[in-house]
Amino acid sequence: TGALGGAGRAVHVDARRGEAALPRRHVRVEIAVGAGHRAVDVAREVRARVGEALVDRPSVAVLVTAVG
C-alpha cells in the first residue's frame, strides 16, 4: 500500500544525517489489516519483527492504511 491507501512503496527506509536527523535509520511500514485482526496488535507485531530483523535495530513505525 502507499500512504493512506494510495499507490506507492509499502516500506520506507530513511538514513538521514545532520543535527535534526534521527541518530539511526528509521523504517516506516505501511500495511492493510484484515477485519478479523486487531490493527493495534498487528502493527505492534510488525514493528517488533522488523526491528529484530535488521542488524542495526532501526526505529520502526507502522502505518495502518486500511482495515477490513
Domain count of the fold of the chain: 1
Helix (H, G, I), strand (E, B) or coil at 24: coil
Q: How confident is the model at residue 42 (pLDDT cuts 50, 70, 90)?
A: very high
**Which pTM value belongs to this model?**
0.75
Percentage of the chain lying above the pLDDT 70 cut: 82
Please say whether the beta carbons of 61 and 27 come within 8 A: yes
4-28: b (≥16 Cβ within 10 Å) or e: eeeeeeeeeeeeeeeeeeeeeebbb
Where in the sequence is the domain holding 40, given as residue range(s)? 3-67
pLDDT at 44 over 70: yes
Helix (H, G, I), strand (E, B) or coil at 61: strand
pLDDT band at 22 (very low <50, low <70, confident <90, very high): low
Average pLDDT of the chain is: 86
